[in-house]
């Protein structure tokens, strides 16, 4: 699996492989430099590799080399974890760090854009879920359609911002990994971080209300529009979980959607 790239870039394995649904990763050393070798296994990961290259280390991990399905990038060596911070009394700080990292990604670039997908295309699954189940799915869809019809601040999005996709790179600070290829309103990325299904406290009403305030301020977003994006994204995320037969995870995302809807009604 990794041998062609190990040979091409004169790399030495430096840890156990990491297997994800869309890629295979291997900690390596490039001389004395710790790095991460990523081999994309599907089209989305391949396009994500192009986006990492396009960011050129500004807000994202620095890419050292890219060839075919292989990507060689700097490895996060810091010990801090945003998930640990969020669960251990530093939730506000974790959200502020994520907002700052996202803002760096959204900054204009002079380079020609890589291949991207319009954000509206991502909502196909929500259309299907709304037709089949109605309820919060339909409300999320209506909200999404209104947002997509009048986009504001269109940027190249990360598409999958959450606590474990922004890592501690020591002196280089907090940088992102594992992007998708999508372009749309910047509020989508900030809504994503509020819906993280891996965060046990994501559905806590008091925590949710607090983080809406924190994120809106840190990101410079209007509170109501951020809530609308959370409602839209939470419904979409739930629809994706339904497609994966993960009904419990879908229900968790619908709880987030309900929190956003309730705050919008207040």
Residues 194/245, Cβ–Cβ less than 8 Å: no
Smallest Cα–Cα separation from 123: which of 3, 212, 238?
A: 238
Specify whether 160 is catalytic: yes
| CB neighbours of residue 124 within 10 Å | 11
Name the active-site residue from 42, 56, 69, 160: 160
Residues 6+ apart with CB under 8 A from 89: none
Residues 6+ apart with CB under 8 A from 119: 148, 151, 157, 182, 183, 184, 185, 188
Name the H helices within 56-204: 82-87, 91-106, 124-133, 135-149, 187-194
- Residues annotated catalytic, as ranges: 160
């Amino acid at each position: 699996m990794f041998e062609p790239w190990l040979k091409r870039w004169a790399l030495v394995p430096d840890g156990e492989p990491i297997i994800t649904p869309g890629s295979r990763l291997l900690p390596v050393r490039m001389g004395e430099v710790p790095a991460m070798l990523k081999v994309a296994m599907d089209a989305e990961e391949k396009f994500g590799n192009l986006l990492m290259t396009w960011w050129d280390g500004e807000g994202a991990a620095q890419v050292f080399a890219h060839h075919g399905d292989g990507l060689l990038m700097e490895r996060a060596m810091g010990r801090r974890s945003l998930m640990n911070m969020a669960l251990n009394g530093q939730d506000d700080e974790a959200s502020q760090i994520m907002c700052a990292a996202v803002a760096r990604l959204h900054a204009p670039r002079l380079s020609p854009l890589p291949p991207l997908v319009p954000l509206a295309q991502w909502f196909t699954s929500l259309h299907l879920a709304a037709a089949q189940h109605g309820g919060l799915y339909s409300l999320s869809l209506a909200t999404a359609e209104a947002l997509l019809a009048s986009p504001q601040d269109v940027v190249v999005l990360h598409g999958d911002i959450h606590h474990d996709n922004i890592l501690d790179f020591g002196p280089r600070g907090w940088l992102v990994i594992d992007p998708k290829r999508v372009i749309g309103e910047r509020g989508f990325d900030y809504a994503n971080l509020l819906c993280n299904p891996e965060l046990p406290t994501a559905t806590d009403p008091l925590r949710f209300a607090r983080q809406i305030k924190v994120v809106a301020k840190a990101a410079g977003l209007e509170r109501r529009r951020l809530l609308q994006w959370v409602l839209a994204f939470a419904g979409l995320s739930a629809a994706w979980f339904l497609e994966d037969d993960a009904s419990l995870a879908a229900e968790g995302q619908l709880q987030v959607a309900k929190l956003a809807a309730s705050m919008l009604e207040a």
